Every structure is written in C-alpha cells, then in structure tokens.
Structure 1
Amino acid sequence: MAPLTIAPATPQDTSEISALLARAYAGLEQFYPVEILKPVMPLFATCNHKLVASGRYFVLREDGAVRAVGGWSEDAPGTASYAPARGHIRHVGVDPKAGGRGFGRDLLEAVEADAVQNGMTELEAFANVPAVPFYLALGYTRLGSRTELISGQYEFDGVDLRKRL
C-alpha cells in the first residue's frame, strides 16, 4: 500500500484541488439534470481559496497524488450564519478512480478531529444526493431535504445532515 498523508491544503495545492473536484463532481450528471449542473459545475469544481487559507481544508495524498479533499468552517456556507460549537463540512471530493478505498472516510475523520480540536461538538453537511449514503455510513443523521440557492441564483437539491462529535 502506498503511503497516505493528510495535511492542511496550501495555496500551491489549489490547481490539483480544482482538478480533483472537477473529476469528483462530474459523476453528478447521473443524479441531476444538465440544466441544473451546467451553471453550478464551475463553482463546484473550483478550489475555494478562503477555505484553503483558513487552515481547515485538507488534502489526502496517496504516494504524492491527491485522492481526496475537504474541510470545515464555523460559518454556514454562503452565509454569515454561526452557531456556537457547530461546524460545517465544506467542499468534499474523492477522486472517482480511488473511490471505495476508504480515502473519503479517512479524510472526513481528519476533518472531524480538527473540528473537535477547535471546539466543535457537532458538524453539519449539505450533501448532494449521491453523497448521502457516505455520510450516513459515517454516523451522520439525516435532517431533511432542501433546495440550496448556490451563489444566490442557482437552485440545487440536497440533504442536510448532522453528526455529534
């Protein structure tokens, strides 16, 4: 087995992160109509520099290759909404060629550990439809379905989940 590392992302990782996110989210075409995905894919497949700068966005590498990415923030995505001790999972993606090998689980465990070290007692996620079983398998509870307004203009259906840490 090749060596795995999980570390905070750096500005030098942004192009690799964006490339992985593009590959990871390309699979959404099986679950959402093209008219929904076309405007949001450039947003989904672009590294969030603010998350990287926060030190709370992580890269999992296998033998140097980026296989999974993701992180957390205290504020809810797209808002300034804040609840004490509640963090929010952000921009998770796993290389589809590496799916089923536990990289997503390993990455999310590191994200959760970092959130706990920073005083969080629970994490919430707004997951796309195919990601819901992944979060449920890791102990997240389904709160309900909703439509998120991406960038204030694009409706995207997903599921809210929460986990007590």
Structure 2
Amino acid sequence: MSITTRLAKFEDIPQLNEMIALSVRGLSTDYYTPAQIERSIKYIFGVDTQLITDGTYYIAEKDGMLAGCGGWSKRNTLYGGDQHKEVEDPLLDPEKDAARIRAFFVHPDHARQGVGRHIINVCETAAQQHGFTSFELGATLPGVPLYKAMGYEAIERIDAPMPDGELLGIVKMRKVLS
C-alpha cells in the first residue's frame, strides 16, 4: 500500500474535520483526559484554512482513502485551526525564522504506518524550496515520539488554555538543517 499526497482543497474541509476528530479521540487517550480531548476538538484542533489558501496543506491517502493530513506554513501561527486564531497571521522571513510544521493528524486506522512521516517529509521539502532551513511545531503529546524520531528537539512545554479553563499540554519543538 503506497501513500500518496495531494494539496487539500476547500471542499475537503468537512471530511478533514471528521478525520481530525477521529484522530484526536483515537490516538490521544493515553495522553489526555476525555475532557481535554473533547475540548481540544472544539477549541483548538481543526483545519486552518489559511494553509489551504497558501497551498501548503496536504492530504495523505492510502489506496484512495483519507489516511492523514498536515502542512507547513510561512506564517507565524504555531498550532490550531480556524477556531483557535483571533488575529492576522503575519508572514515569516525564511532568512531568520523557522517554517511552521502544522496541523498533523493521522486516521487511527493508519497510525504507525508511515503516514505522518511521509507528510512531514513532503512539508519539509516544500518549505526548503521556499528558503527555510529550520522548522518549528507545536506537538501534541502523542506526536512527540514521531517528531523526536525525525530530528526535532523539545524547546518548551506549553499548557494551551482553552476558553473553559481546561489546559492542553503541547510541546514546542524545533529542527535545524545542517
């Protein structure tokens, strides 16, 4: 079974949001409480349409089925979907800033089958083609092992507040190309 990627389109958003919720519910239970999982789907995780507009958000498919999604950004936002953003998202300077690796989710039926790694490789290559030589991301706790295996180092732990007072642990990570 080969993994293919394509750019996400606006008409993909309903299916992507469904898959994102399945991913968070299916892969986060060992790391977050049920309340954190449900609130993170409501307040933080979802499609960031700016990535689709910028042409930097990808869908991974295995045998024609949606297996995962993820992207990279030349903008300042580190994590979160449309429902998490409140301000304009300024452009980064590839000479001094790190590209953002963003909004990665894998369908639970395709977890640990190389989908996430495949999308990260696509994103890193695309960001490099736009002049970026370093990358930053806001990793969910279940994503940290994959990112570490791909050369990312933890910078800091962020307890992302949600509107109802619940906190979600996220790890800011960085990778610099040599």
Same fold, TM exceeding 0.5?
Answer: yes
Flag the 1:150–1:50 CA change in 2: closer, same or farther, 3 A.
farther
Once the 2 structures are TM-superposed, how far is the Cα of residue 144 of structure 1 from its aligned partner?
A: 2.1
- SS of residue in 1 equivalent to 2:131: coil
TM-score calculated relative to the size of structure 2: 0.81
Q: Deviations over 1:42-75 (max 9, x none)?
A: 2455322222122100011112111110001121
TM-score by length of 1: 0.87
Instruction: Give the superposed CA RMSD.
Output: 2.2
Contact 1:9 1:59 survives alignment (8 Å):
yes
Query: What does residue 22 of structure 1 align with?
Result: 21
Task: Work out the CA distance in 2 between the residues paired with 1:61 and 1:121.
Answer: 27
SS at match of 2:112: coil
Aligned match of 1:49: 49
State the number of aligned residues: 164
Distance in structure 2 (CA, Å) of the matches to 1:4 and 1:38? 29
Partner of 1:84: 93
**Whole-angstrom distance in 1 between the partners of 2:71 and 2:171:** 18
Structure 1 gaps of 5+ residues are: none
| Stretches of structure 2 lacking an aligned partner (at least 5 in a row) | 79-84
Aligned partners of 1:22 and 1:44 also within 8 Å: no
What are the Cα deviations for residues 131-158 of structure 1, in whole angstroms up to 9, with x where unaligned?
A: 1111000011111212123579653211
